[in-house]
């Protein structure tokens, strides 16, 4: 059964360790996770064939090995400062018959490459997990799953919690979409409209404000899941009567979002009916925005 490594130091112990030794002390103790909790961590990770898992502080390697045994298409990496535990994990992988798919390294977790992994396991001192949060956000690809137990990631709220073991939680790395975004939208029978948006983001939480012409509106129902994002916008458009309901859905690719927008347009003569049309949508991130340009006093209602 799968187990996982943890360094569960109490705050008193850390305070007793002088300056530069604290980082080393955070790694120094090894406590095995209970088998049933490790199994729940693997289940919550929802492993798929082709996934690469990494365990930051892998100990004797049981979580990486358990992941490889749970899905024959999974490969794994374990990183640990203790060379003795690295040797034990390597030997265990051979005994369990997965040594060709899992590797263990005598390595600092801050030096572990996270750019090509799909699942990150960790159960480390809580302050250390928060320090690793910035590395994860900077390196890991959008959609990467992070699974841990007991300790949180500070202000970054979990995306999922195990129903049986409430201490087991998962985070999904969101795409970075903060900044200025611009796009054009051409509807049949109308001139092209230029949209200028500013997106504010806090991990997987975001909202935005959008300007078309001299009208500004705030988005609603903004959602980010990995590289997928969506939001709604109720915006008046020149040449159309009343605000128009937009539903945007897109995939983030660096400084570009590509997807579709569904427009809900009132049917003439019947205020309770709407025509729904779908159009391609492509937004680009920019250093500049016209959102702050002068508006004047002639603003459509």
Kindly state whether residue 254 falls inside one of the protein's structural domains.
Answer: yes
Residue 48 burial by CB count (10 A; 0-12/13-18/19+): exposed, middle or buried? exposed
Q: Answer yes or no: is 293 within a domain.
A: no
Indicate whether 63 and 148 sit together in one domain.
yes
Query: Residue 186 is part of a domain; what is its CATH number?
Result: 2.40.128
Residue 21 maps to a domain:
yes
Quick: pLDDT tens for 249-288.
Answer: 999 999 999 999 999 876 666 666 677 899 999 999 999 9
Compute the C-alpha angle 21/23/26, nearest 5°.
Answer: 105
Same domain, 157 and 183: no
Is it the case that residue 196 has pLDDT exceeding 80? yes
Q: Are residues 132 and 218 in the same domain?
A: no
C-beta of residue 264 within 8 angstroms of C-beta of residue 274: yes
Q: Tens of pLDDT along 146-194?
A: 999 988 999 999 999 999 988 999 999 999 999 999 999 988 877 899 9
What was the pLDDT predicted at 31? 58
Q: Provide the domain count of the chain.
A: 2
- 184 and 161 part of one domain: no
pLDDT at 4 over 60: no
Q: What is the pLDDT of residues 76-117, one digit of tens each?
A: 999 999 999 999 999 999 999 999 999 999 999 999 999 999
Q: Looking at 172, 194, 212, which one is the last position of a domain?
A: 172
pTM of the model as a whole: 0.85
Least confident residue range of 183-187, 218-222, 225-229 = 183-187
Statement to judge: residues 17 and 162 lie in one domain: yes
Residue 135: domain span = 5-172
**Domain-ending residue, one of 122, 151, 172:** 172
Helix/strand/coil percentages in the chain, nearest 5: 20, 40, 40
**Residue 275 pLDDT:** 79
Residues 203 and 111 in one domain: no
Return the number of other C-beta atoms located less than 10 Å from residue 301's C-beta: 6
172, 190, 219 - which closes a domain: 172
Helix (H) or strand (E) holding 146: strand 145-149
Domain co-membership, 70 together with 107: yes
Give the pLDDT confidence score for residue 276 in this predicted structure.
86
Contact 41, 35 (CB under 8 A): no
Distance CA 118, CA 106 (A): 21
- Predicted confidence at residue 235, as pLDDT, reads 93
| Shared-domain flag, residues 95 and 213 | no
In a domain, 295, yes or no: no
Q: What span, in angstroms and rounded, lies between the C-alpha atoms of 261 and 279?
A: 5
Q: With 90 as the cut, is the pLDDT of residue 297 above it?
A: no
Positive or negative: CA dihedral 219, 220, 223, 227: negative
DSSP assignment of 157-226: --SEE-SS-TTEEEEEPPP---EEEEEEE--TTS--EEEEEEEEEETTEEEEEEEETTEEEE-EEEEEET
Task: Looking at the structure, tell me whether residues 24 and 162 fall in a common domain.
Answer: yes
């Amino acid at each position: 059964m799968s187990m996982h490594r943890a360094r569960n130091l109490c705050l008193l112990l850390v305070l007793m360790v002088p300056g530069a030794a604290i980082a080393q002390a955070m790694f120094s103790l090894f406590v095995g996770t209970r088998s049933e909790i490790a199994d729940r961590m693997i289940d919550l990770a929802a492993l798929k064939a082709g996934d690469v898992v990494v365990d930051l502080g892998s100990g004797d390697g049981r979580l990486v090995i358990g992941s490889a045994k749970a899905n024959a298409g999974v490969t794994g990496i374990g990183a640990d400062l203790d060379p003795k535990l690295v040797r034990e994990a390597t030997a265990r992988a051979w005994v369990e018959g997965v040594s060709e798919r899992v590797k263990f390294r005598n390595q600092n977790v801050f030096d572990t490459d996270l750019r090509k992994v799909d699942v990150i396991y960790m159960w480390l001192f809580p302050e250390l997990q928060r320090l690793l949060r910035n590395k994860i956000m900077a390196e890991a690809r959008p959609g990467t799953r992070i699974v841990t137990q007991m300790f949180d990631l500070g202000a970054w709220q979990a995306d999922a919690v195990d129903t049986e073991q409430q201490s087991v939680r998962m985070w999904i790395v969101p795409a970075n979409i903060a900044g200025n975004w611009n796009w054009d939208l051409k509807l049949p029978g109308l001139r092209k409209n230029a949209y200028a948006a500013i997106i504010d983001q806090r991990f997987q939480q975001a909202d935005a404000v959008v300007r078309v012409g001299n009208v500004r509106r705030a988005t609603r129902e903004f959602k980010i899941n990995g590289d997928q994002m969506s939001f709604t916008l109720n915006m008046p458009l020149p040449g159309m009567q009343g605000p128009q309901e937009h539903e945007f859905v897109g995939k983030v690719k660096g400084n570009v979002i590509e997807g579709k927008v569904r427009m809900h347009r009132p049917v003439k003569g019947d205020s309770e009916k709407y025509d729904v049309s779908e159009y391609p949508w492509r937004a680009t991130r920019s250093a500049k925005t016209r959102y702050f340009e002068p508006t004047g006093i002639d603003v459509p209602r």
